[in-house]
Structure 1
Amino acid sequence: MDMLWMHLLGHLSQLCSDLRPEVRNSANQTIFKTISINGKRLTLEAWDECIWNILFPLLERVKISSEQSEHFSHTAGAAGSVASTPISGTISASGIPINPNDSPAKFWNETKTLTLTGITNLLIQFFPVLIDLESSFEKAWTLFLDYIRSWALKGSPEVAAAAIKCFKLLVRYPKDLVRATPSKYRTDNILDLDNMSPYQEAAFTIITGTTPDLSLIPGASELILLSVSGFIRLPFVRLQTLSDDDLQSARLQPQTGGMEKGFTYMALAKRSIQTVVTLFEKHGSQASVYSGGIFESILACFDVPMRAKYDCPAPGLKDSTPLWRVAANSAMALVILGLRSLDALSRDLPNNILTGIYSQILDTFDGFLLPQSSPDASISSDELDVATDFDISIFETFETDVLLHLGQLHVSDALVKDHIQIICRASRLYKSHMSSLADISFSSQKGSMSALIDTKQSSIKRLASNEPSSAFNTRASRISVTSTTKTMGRMNLGTDVMPLGREKFSKVCLASLLKLCSDELNDLKDVRYRIATIAAPVVLDKMRDIIKSYASDRPLYGKLPLPRIRSEEILIVLSNLRDLQMRVGILHELVSEDKIREFVVPIF
């Protein structure tokens, strides 16, 4: 029976390269529909023969015949003769009437489209069966991808669009198809924590390969950067489909020694991060990368693992570097490269483009420096120290290599202030409820004294006018003060202070705030002066709040010491204020603009 099927399909495939377009296109539709309906009846041996003796020879004949026809058309056109055309009034395979005046190349483009689409649909439909062919199917898969790449690059726009569409269908497997595949296919893919699966490798190579080099096509380098950076999101797209239990398991795989099930895309994501940096070094100086929003989109992809941080899926066993750390290192390299290019391109780019780029940079590092996730309880203190040191290194690199770019005139004051506010939030060492209670107490006492004075004056007026007494107002104020004092008395001193974690990192941020106003560094004086002018009110406000909070809480503790973290905080502030050499002219400018009084007077 298999021999009869192969004999029938073989003769039918011969007609698929017939010179008459209506004949070959009808034969194309017939052969693929026949295999689709009866493919389940074929044995593995028959499928192997069908692939290598029917489908690929069909592809090759269509390719060769179309090239010969195109060559003949050019030759005939040069000689003044007319090439053979289809019969007028016939209908094409797509249902559109054939125009005899159309060139043969157009008819062959339709045949190529039918052939690519037909084979793609067969591979997807019978994938669970074909995978059992093992190495034979892997070779067939690779060869078919070569055909797709060749026609996508060298074919007409119509054929190229069809080839790209087929490629997308092949690399995006439905979930039920993945679940239905045999164990060998699943085994290949559960190892993609450390190494990309063969299919991921093939897709990645088509986009980033150098034979042929897609980046030589105008506008293709931007699309390649977007495509590769999009792979960084894949591990998180998968996590959205997991339950809470599976999500927790995905985060803890390295600690528990288990192996991630199904696609993880971890190796693909890490490889993509490295490749984006390499591609950006080559193409990052192009103005279109910035004017077209490519740079912002790339940073947005890096922002996903950086913002997730401790919620990132588990890394591989061979390469145990967390995905967020790989992304942060590479994002810093991208930002430095991008800002250097922007120095030369800023005059030619609109302000809204520049503002969008700088806003995306700040947003990316804001999400990284102030993550919403928290480390798992199973992470050791040594690992937390390593993570904190890494955060400090990224922060210091940002302050050294990025901050000066933000101080240039084409960057708005609001963006510079946003960056300073990020440092302020990152410098918080703890949360405390004591200050709020103290503010209530002091405001209540103030209100009580005012009430007593008002009561004394009103009593004199009442005696003169015989008005009724309103002493209950004074009593209410006294009750308010008493209840607040009792509330503070019931609170155990020190228990209101809750450390926020990453103490070492927060102390570095706190000390760096005052350095923004310092004149220690004299390179790019105008830029540093502008940053100091914008930073001074924010920094003084931060220092005022710390000193005022300490001064108001200190009496409440009596002879008891304040919590260690609060004592260290005030020491950092006072020692840095003592050693601060404010950049010349900053305070005078703030005083002249009446911006400093509201910050300095409340401290004293």
Structure 2
Amino acid sequence: MVFQTFRLPLSMKYSCPSPSTWALAINSLLSVLNVGLTVARKHESAFHSMWSELAQTLEEFLFSKHPSPPTLSVEDFQRDEAVDCKVILMVRDDILPFAVSMPKDFVKRIMQLLNKGSIHTTSSDSFIDTDSSKKLREEFAKTCFETLLQFSFVSKTNSEEGAITKMAVLSLLNRCQDVVRKHVDDERLSGKCPLPRPRLAEMASVLKAITTLVRSLKKAPPGNGSATLFEFYEISNLRRVYGYQVIQLYPALVDCTTSPSPNVCRALKEALHEYKDLLAPPTSSTQNGTA
């Protein structure tokens, strides 16, 4: 298989003998996928084994076990990050819109990949290391997150397409939970030292996503107005799953109210206002026994 040929240099990445090896391999892979994905979708049975290989190849490249060397300049790091973003854009444009014609396991792995990529990572374990914060894959995380967000609010009537939306929303919710809880823990540990700017920007973007998500999920079927928390669980099985996880986020959001960041507090305020509607008592069309 062609992916097995690409897989070795892509997984080695910065450990390749020549720095240009993995760059040549990923550009060649993207060229192959530009033509090959269309063919594979039309002849699914002939390319059944391809999808798992592709998912594994993408994951090992984007999350290589061979990190960038400490001598790599910030400019070179950003150049390499742009290549990673290019791969995610390929996923956004050439894979997810056609997910209904691809194996479900493959699509699930792609969603997991986006979820993993949407969380900022750095080469240092220190959350106040300003040097390492320069090498956060900020644009890469943003691209992954925006792709998840884009496919979380696609309204489809087809059940299979709806399943894609469900996977995207659940991945997005899991990602939001991880970021919010980690942010709260790290702010407590940092004391008076502010978290790196990319971390604060990440938190603000996650809070905005939560606001958008809650607004979307609160919408009842046409003509029924907005849903309260008590009505929220009765709209559909899908929203019942989402609703539970959304409510589970509330205590962590309350813990964020002590954040010293104005941008975080502003985004948090908007998110909590949306919860206000969810926590309202159920409305009733019958009062004192009359309609």
Out of 125, 138, 147, the residue aligned to residue 90 of structure 2 is 147
Aligned residues of 1:229 and 1:301 also touching (Cα < 8 A): yes
Aligned residues of 2:40 and 2:47 also touching (Cα < 8 A): yes
**What is the aligned partner in structure 2 of residue 119 from structure 1?**
58
Is the counterpart of residue 259 in structure 1 residue 202 in structure 2?
Answer: no
Is the counterpart of residue 326 in structure 1 residue 261 in structure 2?
Answer: no
Q: Distance in 2 between matches of 1:108 and 1:34?
A: 23
**What is the aligned partner in structure 1 of residue 221 from structure 2?**
285
Q: Distance in 2 between matches of 1:306 and 1:153?
A: 35
**What is the aligned partner in structure 2 of residue 187 from structure 1?**
134
Is the counterpart of residue 272 in structure 1 residue 209 in structure 2?
Answer: yes
User: Which letter does structure 2 place at the counterpart of 1:208?
Assistant: L
Q: Distance in 1 between matches of 2:217 and 2:14?
A: 46
Match of 1:321, SS state, is helix
Q: Give the alignment's Cα RMSD to 1 decimal.
A: 4.3
Q: Distance in 1 between matches of 2:220 and 2:86?
A: 33
- Superposition TM-score, scaled by structure 1 size: 0.36
Out of 9, 22, 29, the residue aligned to residue 47 of structure 1 is 22
| CA pair 263-299 structure 1, distance change in 2 beyond 3 A | same
Out of 43, 62, 67, the residue aligned to residue 36 of structure 2 is 62
- Superposition TM-score, scaled by structure 2 size: 0.67
- Give the aligned length: 265
Aligned residues of 1:117 and 1:162 also touching (Cα < 8 A): no
Cα offset, 1:172, TM superposition:
1.9
Q: Distance in 1 between matches of 2:251 and 2:50?
A: 47
Q: What does residue range 556-571 of structure 1 map to in structure 2 within 5 Å? A: none
Cα offset, 1:106, TM superposition:
1.4
User: Which letter does structure 2 place at the counterpart of 1:317?
Assistant: P
| CA pair 183-128 structure 1, distance change in 2 beyond 3 A | farther
Cα offset, 1:35, TM superposition:
5.2
Aligned residues of 1:171 and 1:203 also touching (Cα < 8 A): yes
Q: What does residue range 525-536 of structure 1 map to in structure 2 within 5 Å? A: 525-526=288-289
Q: Distance in 2 between matches of 1:59 and 1:229?
A: 30
Aligned residues of 1:32 and 1:118 also touching (Cα < 8 A): yes
| CA pair 184-155 structure 1, distance change in 2 beyond 3 A | farther
Match of 2:266, SS state, is coil
Q: Render the CA deviation track for 1:215-240: whole Å, top value 9, x for unaligned.
A: 22543555555444444423443268
Q: Render the CA deviation track for 1:69-127: whole Å, top value 9, x for unaligned.
A: x4xxxxxxxxxxxxxxxxxxxxxxxxxxxxxxxxx531224224423421321231156
**What is the aligned partner in structure 1 of residue 259 from structure 2?**
314
| CA pair 34-309 structure 1, distance change in 2 beyond 3 A | closer
Match of 1:214, SS state, is coil
Q: Render the CA deviation track for 1:181-220: whole Å, top value 9, x for unaligned.
A: 9977723659xxxxxx42332223223327x973225435
Out of 201, 215, 223, the residue aligned to residue 155 of structure 2 is 215
User: Which letter does structure 2 place at the counterpart of 1:50?
Assistant: A
Q: Distance in 2 between matches of 1:64 and 1:293?
A: 31
For structure 2, the 5+ residue unaligned runs are: 223-231
Is the counterpart of residue 168 in structure 1 residue 143 in structure 2?
Answer: no
Q: Distance in 2 between matches of 1:408 and 1:42?
A: 72
**What is the aligned partner in structure 2 of residue 89 from structure 1?**
none
Q: Distance in 2 between matches of 1:213 and 1:310?
A: 27
| CA pair 153-164 structure 1, distance change in 2 beyond 3 A | farther
User: Which letter does structure 2 place at the counterpart of 1:272?
Assistant: A
Out of 229, 239, 242, the residue aligned to residue 294 of structure 1 is 239
Q: Distance in 2 between matches of 1:183 and 1:43?
A: 30
Aligned residues of 2:85 and 2:139 also touching (Cα < 8 A): no
| CA pair 117-159 structure 1, distance change in 2 beyond 3 A | farther
User: Which letter does structure 2 place at the counterpart of 1:58?
Assistant: V
Q: Distance in 2 between matches of 1:284 and 1:121?
A: 41
Q: What does residue range 224-235 of structure 1 map to in structure 2 within 5 Å? A: 225-235=169-179
Aligned residues of 2:7 and 2:57 also touching (Cα < 8 A): yes
Structure number with bigger Rg? 1
Aligned residues of 1:239 and 1:247 also touching (Cα < 8 A): yes
Q: What does residue range 83-102 of structure 1 map to in structure 2 within 5 Å? A: none
Out of 40, 49, 73, the residue aligned to residue 110 of structure 1 is 49
User: Which letter does structure 1 place at the counterpart of 2:112?
Assistant: K
| CA pair 298-110 structure 1, distance change in 2 beyond 3 A | same
Is the counterpart of residue 198 in structure 1 residue 166 in structure 2?
Answer: no
More contact order relative to length (CA 8 Å, sep ≥ 6): 2
| CA pair 113-155 structure 1, distance change in 2 beyond 3 A | farther
